[in-house]
């Protein structure tokens, strides 16, 4: 892996983490606005973060494998 590929991969990973964290924060906010307790909102945020991280990472891996071909 060249330095450029490593830099692009690390940048994409950082974007994925920020995007997943934002999705988790929005899920927690919406849960609190819906009247959920703080622990319930944190649980929903964690689930949303995990799901978003999984989906976006899978799409990133697919895109990277298609670009290498």
- CA-based Rg of the chain, rounded to a whole angstrom? 15
Q: What is the pLDDT of residue 58?
A: 92
Q: How far does the chain reach from its first CA to its final CA, in angstroms?
A: 14
Q: Is the pLDDT of residue 30 over 80?
A: yes
Average pLDDT score over residue span 19-30: 96
> Tell me, what's the pLDDT at 49?
97
Q: According to the model, what pLDDT value does residue 53 have?
A: 93
Under a CB-based contact definition with an 8 Å cutoff, are residues 50 and 22 in contact? Answer: no
pLDDT value of residue 67: 81
- Mean pLDDT value across residues 3-22: 90
Q: How many CB atoms lie under 10 A from the CB of residue 31?
A: 19
Say whether 59 sits in a helix, a strand or coil: helix
């Amino acid at each position: 892996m060249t330095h450029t590929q490593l830099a692009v991969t690390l940048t994409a990973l950082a974007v994925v983490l920020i995007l997943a964290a934002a999705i988790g924060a929005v899920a927690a906010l919406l849960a609190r606005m819906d009247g959920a307790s703080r622990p319930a909102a944190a649980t929903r945020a964690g689930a949303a973060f995990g799901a978003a991280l999984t989906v976006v990472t899978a799409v990133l891996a697919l895109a990277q494998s298609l670009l290498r071909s």
